[in-house]
């Protein structure tokens, strides 16, 4: 992709799943990658080992903690001396019927999925504004940015909130060389979906709801991040690009049931 070579990228939650695939893809594009992890150091080391070519670092930080985020940016900048791209990928979900939803679980999901991207974006923007050249921020949202997800209230709220985080920051900094966009994946084969990806029956049930008939690989989602970060997307800001196999197309309308045909 145009314009990615020699860029410096920070990917949060890069020890597994989509974040790991993004780190590997950006390394293949010629970027140097700061691989953030919270507790899975082994996973981060695996990402580091597989990332080729480039000069990469791993940085421990909980994105929901302000002091961790400040330290993470300081470490990334001392390793690379500049950052060009921030990928807010880290995210969690805690399912529960909403009437039983524990307030601490609700808070934790908001802290990781929304406070994290705010804290990281703020640090990235401060750095981007401190030197010439602008920068790119990409958020890993979800189809649940627009599709309600019963029993995942806090998750749905955070992904809806990411839309406004993306659009507001995009508007605020459009005139100062900073582009802010999001990717909205559908169902992807990653550890967040351990509940069904290893069970062929459960997987077939999930995939029966997807118009393209299958879940995505993490690499297919990483490609969208590479495009949006590259100069090939130089005129795109404030958008969410859904990579969801058609899930956002109201699949229930595949047949003309509503017209009685
Ligand atoms: P995953 O569980 O493999 O990845 C989540 C990553 O976030 C993990 O590496 C985890 O360690 C990290 N993380 C969690 N809390 C953190 C914290 N406080 N600080 C730093 N890192 C933290 O699952 P994934 O599917 O790769 O999820 C990545 C992102 O993709 C999430 O934001 C998720 O909402 C989004 N997403 C996933 C799917 C899917 O079907 N897999 C669909 C839509 C959106």
Q: Which residue carries 């189809």 as its tokens?
A: 143
Active site residues: 155
Check pocket membership of 64 for ligand 1, CB cut-off 6 A.
yes
In angstroms, the CA 88 to CA 85 distance is 10
Check pocket membership of 92 for ligand 1, CB cut-off 6 A.
yes
Phi, psi of 196 (to 5 degrees): -135, -15
Report the residue among 12, 13, 89 best suited for mutation to probe ligand 1: largest number of ligand atoms under 8 A from its CB.
13
**For the stretch 128-151, what's the b/e string if a residue is b when 16 or more beta carbons lie within 10 angstroms of its beta carbon?**
beeeeeebbbbbbbbbbbebeeee
In angstroms, the CA 50 to CA 20 distance is 10
**How much is the pLDDT for 178?**
99
**How much is the pLDDT for 256?**
83
Rg over CA atoms, the chain: 18
Check pocket membership of 192 for ligand 1, CB cut-off 6 A.
yes
Cβ proximity of 161 and 109 under 8 Å: no
**How much is the pLDDT for 117?**
99
Q: Considering only CA atoms, which residue is closest to atom 2 of ligand 1?
A: 192
205 Cα to the center of ligand 1, angstroms:
22
Atom of ligand 1 nearest to the CA of 112: 18
Q: Considering only CA atoms, which residue is closest to atom 21 of ligand 1?
A: 13
The continuous run of DSSP H or E covering 162 comes out as: helix 153-173
Q: Put residue 133 in one of left, alpha, beta given phi > 0 → left and psi -120 to 50 → alpha.
A: left
Which of these, 149, 42, 24, 45, lies nearest to 89 by C-alpha position? 24
In angstroms, the CA 200 to CA 117 distance is 34
The continuous run of DSSP H or E covering 119 comes out as: helix 116-130
Sheet holding 240-243, edge to edge: 57-60, 32-37, 8-11, 85-88, 135-140, 178-185, 240-243
**How much is the pLDDT for 257?**
82
In tens digits, the chain (261 residues) has pLDDT values of: 999 999 999 999 999 999 999 999 999 999 999 999 999 999 999 999 999 999 999 999 999 999 999 999 999 999 999 999 999 999 999 999 999 999 999 999 999 999 999 999 999 999 999 999 999 999 999 999 999 999 999 999 999 999 999 999 999 999 999 999 999 999 999 999 999 999 999 999 999 999 999 999 999 999 999 999 999 999 999 999 999 999 999 999 888 887 766
Check pocket membership of 135 for ligand 1, CB cut-off 6 A.
no
**How much is the pLDDT for 261?**
61
């Amino acid at each position: 992709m145009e314009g990615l070579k020699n860029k410096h990228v920070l990917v949060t939650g890069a020890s597994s799943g989509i974040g790991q695939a993004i780190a590997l893809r950006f390394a293949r594009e010629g970027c140097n990658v700061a691989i953030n992890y919270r507790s899975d150091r082994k996973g981060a080391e695996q990402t580091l080992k597989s990332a080729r070519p480039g000069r990469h670092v791993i940085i421990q930080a909980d994105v929901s903690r302000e002091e961790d985020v400040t330290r993470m940016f300081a470490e990334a900048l001392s390793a690379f001396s500049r950052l060009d791209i921030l990928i807010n990928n880290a995210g969690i979900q805690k399912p529960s019927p909403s009437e039983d939803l524990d307030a601490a679980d609700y808070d934790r999901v908001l802290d990781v999925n929304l406070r994290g991207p705010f804290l990281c974006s703020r640090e990235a923007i401060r750095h981007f504004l401190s030197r010439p050249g602008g920068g790119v921020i990409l958020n890993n949202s979800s189809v649940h940015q627009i599709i309600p997800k019963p029993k995942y209230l806090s998750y749905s709220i955070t992904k809806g909130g990411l839309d406004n985080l993306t659009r507001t920051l995009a508007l605020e900094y459009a005139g100062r060389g900073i582009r802010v966009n999001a990717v909205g994946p559908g169902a992807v084969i990653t550890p967040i979906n351990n509940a069904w990806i290893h069970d062929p029956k459960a997987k077939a049930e999930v995939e029966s709801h997807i118009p393209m008939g299958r879940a995505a690989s993490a690499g297919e989602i990483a490609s969208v991040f590479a495009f949006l970060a590259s100069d090939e997307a130089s005129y795109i800001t404030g958008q969410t690009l859904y990579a969801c196999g058609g899930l956002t197309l109201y699949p229930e309308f595949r047949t003309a049931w509503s017209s009685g045909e």
